[in-house]
Structure 1
Amino acid sequence: MQKKSSVEIVTEWDIVAARQLGRNKAKEIGFGTVDQARITTAISELARNIYLYARFGNIHIEWIEEGDKKGIKIIAKDKGPGIEDVRKVLEDGYSTSGGLGAGLPGVKRLMDSMEIQSEINKGTTITITKWLR
Structure 2
Amino acid sequence: MEFQSCVKIINEWDIVAARQLGRNVAKELGFGTVDQARITTAISELARNIYLYAGRGSVCIEKEYEHGKSGMKIIASDEGPGIQDIRKVMEDGYTTSGGLGAGLPGVKRLMDEFDIDSFPSKGTTITTIKWLR
Q: Which category describes the TM-score, using the shorter chain as reference length? A: over 0.9
* TM-score normalised over the length of structure 1: 0.97
Runs of 4+ in structure 1 deviating by more than 3 angstroms, as ranges, are none
1:51 aligns with 2:51: yes
Structure 1, unaligned stretches of length 5 or more? none
Between the aligned residues of both structures, percent identity stands at: 73
Determine the structure 2 residue equivalent to 1:106: 106
Structure 2, unaligned stretches of length 5 or more? none
User: 1:67 Cα deviation (Å)?
Assistant: 1.8
1:76 aligns with 2:76: yes
User: 1:2 Cα deviation (Å)?
Assistant: 7.1
Say what the alpha-carbon RMSD is for the aligned residues.
Answer: 1.1
Q: Which moved more, 1:67-76 or 1:97-106?
A: 97-106
Cα distance change, pair 2–23 in 1 and its aligned pair in 2 (3 A): farther
| Aligned mates of 1:62, 1:123 — CA distance in 2 | 21
Determine the structure 1 residue equivalent to 2:122: 122
**Residue deviations 1:44-102 (CA, integer Å, cap 9, x gap):** 00000000000000000000100210000000000000001111101011111112211
Give the aligned residue type for 2:64. I
Secondary structure in structure 2 of the residue aligned to 1:104: helix
| Aligned mates of 2:99, 2:15 — CA distance in 1 | 18
Give the aligned residue type for 1:65. Y
Question: Between Structure 1 and Structure 2, how many residues are aligned?
Answer: 133
Give the aligned residue type for 1:5. S
| Aligned mates of 1:119, 1:35 — CA distance in 2 | 31
Determine the structure 1 residue equivalent to 2:97: 97
